[in-house]
Amino acid sequence: MTSFHEYNNISIVTAIIPQHRAQAILKKIYDNYGYTALQFDARGTLAHDRWYQAFIPMVNPENEYLQFIVSSDNVDDFMSYLVGVAQLHLPGAGGAYSTPCLSYASDSEKFVNRSDVVSKDIVEQPINFKKNLSVVFALIQSGRTEPAIRAAMQAGSHGPIVYYAEGRGTRDRMGWLKITKKPYEEVIMTMVDKVDKDSVIDAIVNAGNINVPGGGILYDLPVSKGIVNFPTSMGKRSALATTHQVVAALDELMGGSDWRDRRALARDDKQLGGEGSSTNGGNTCLLRILVPRKYVHTIMDAAIEFGAPGTNVTYVKKLASHADADESGFIMHEEMGFIRMVLPQSLSIKIRDNLKYYCTEHDINNVLICELAVNKVIRYRSEQ
């Protein structure tokens, strides 16, 4: 029987890079830091740059969505190295951001990367990280994904990333009524400048029908620092720049993104949310549990028993480092489930503590439990 250890000053560093470059980048990170990563399979979005191509489905290049567990004291060094090795400062190369954890606990040291490792390679030039970013997540039914993405990009979002999730809630315990639930949903993740955040959230909520029963949930996380250079459009190779490259150049000339503030503009579109929707934040957090795949449904059911209104899971790989190779040199990656719940902080603390006790009592090992702050949550709430 193992026990959980609490760790302070932990951040999650997320990187989104083209799939064909992922292995070479990960190898350099392993060699330089020894850090392991969590790998999500995801797709990007590219819009056609001609008006008459708006009726053609978007292009979805494959991406790798990678997460690293890093000591907050080491975030600057690691992110600078990550940007350099992945060339994230170049147009269309991808993006990266860091988010601090409110709490972090694990029963295994393999989920805690060393904090005393610094880059052996010298960063040639300082990286201009943005500190005015937010990252928005929207969990919606797959049929509504493309309209929501188009609306988000028109409102100022960088190219959104999409990956699958499996939902689980009270209907899973209602016998044959389970057939009324669609088991698979899609998660839209997009990085936005704070000046564009409200417009992007508004666009996703309305285009994705999040403010209707069963419409899903949207939330955004604060970002400590980040860099974003996602490709956003596909057109002729002779085109000199994409819209986002032009906007980024204007930001630099204007000394920031405040010139894009749309709050001074008269608006006649639909207002955010609407009747039956619920908007909140502040004392809300994202509870994340990483467990081996065979325990996923057990932990999700336990969380619902402890009071969670619903959960969702995305299956990921924990990529082992070369130090984890066996005697023959074979490296075994672990398939795991990343369970997520957006909860009031008081309920999150209760479920977090109960799950730690539950895992200890039932001898469920290799578990990570952490909480992240949430700025805003939008979901449907029925009138009482």
pLDDT bucket at 53, cuts 50 / 70 / 90: very low
Q: Which pLDDT tens digit goes with each residue over 263-282? A: 443 333 444 444 445 556 56
Residue 361: what pLDDT? 93
Other Cβ atoms within 10 Å of 168 Cβ, number: 22
Domain of 63, in residue numbers: 5-380
Q: Which pLDDT tens digit goes with each residue over 277-301? A: 555 656 899 999 999 999 999 999 9
Helix (H) or strand (E) holding 301: helix 296-305
User: What share of the chain in percent tops pLDDT 90?
Assistant: 38
How far apart are the C-alpha atoms of 321 and 161, rounded to whole Å?
26
Q: Give yes or no for a contact between 41 and 165, defined as CB atoms under 8 angstroms apart.
A: no
How far apart are the C-alpha atoms of 291 and 119, rounded to whole Å?
30
Helices 145-154 and 194-207 meet at what angle, rounded to 10?
150
pLDDT bucket at 371, cuts 50 / 70 / 90: very high
The pTM (predicted TM-score) of the whole model is 0.81
Q: Which pLDDT tens digit goes with each residue over 302-311? A: 999 999 988 9
Among the residue ranges 171-185, 219-233, 337-351, the one predicted with the least confidence is 171-185
How far apart are the C-alpha atoms of 136 and 218, rounded to whole Å?
7
Residue 54: what pLDDT? 53
Mean pLDDT for all residues in the chain? 79
pLDDT above 70 for 226: yes
Q: Give yes or no for a contact between 36 and 319, defined as CB atoms under 8 angstroms apart.
A: yes
Q: Which pLDDT tens digit goes with each residue over 105-125? A: 999 887 777 666 666 665 555
- Position with higher pLDDT, 1 vs 352: 352
Residue 351: what pLDDT? 97
Residue 295: what pLDDT? 95
Mean pLDDT for the stretch of residues 138-146: 85
- Position with higher pLDDT, 231 vs 165: 165
Among 343, 324, 336, which residue's Cα sits nearest to residue 367? 336
- Per the structure, the count of domains in the chain is 1
pLDDT above 70 for 61: no
Q: Which pLDDT tens digit goes with each residue over 18-40? A: 888 888 998 888 888 888 889 98
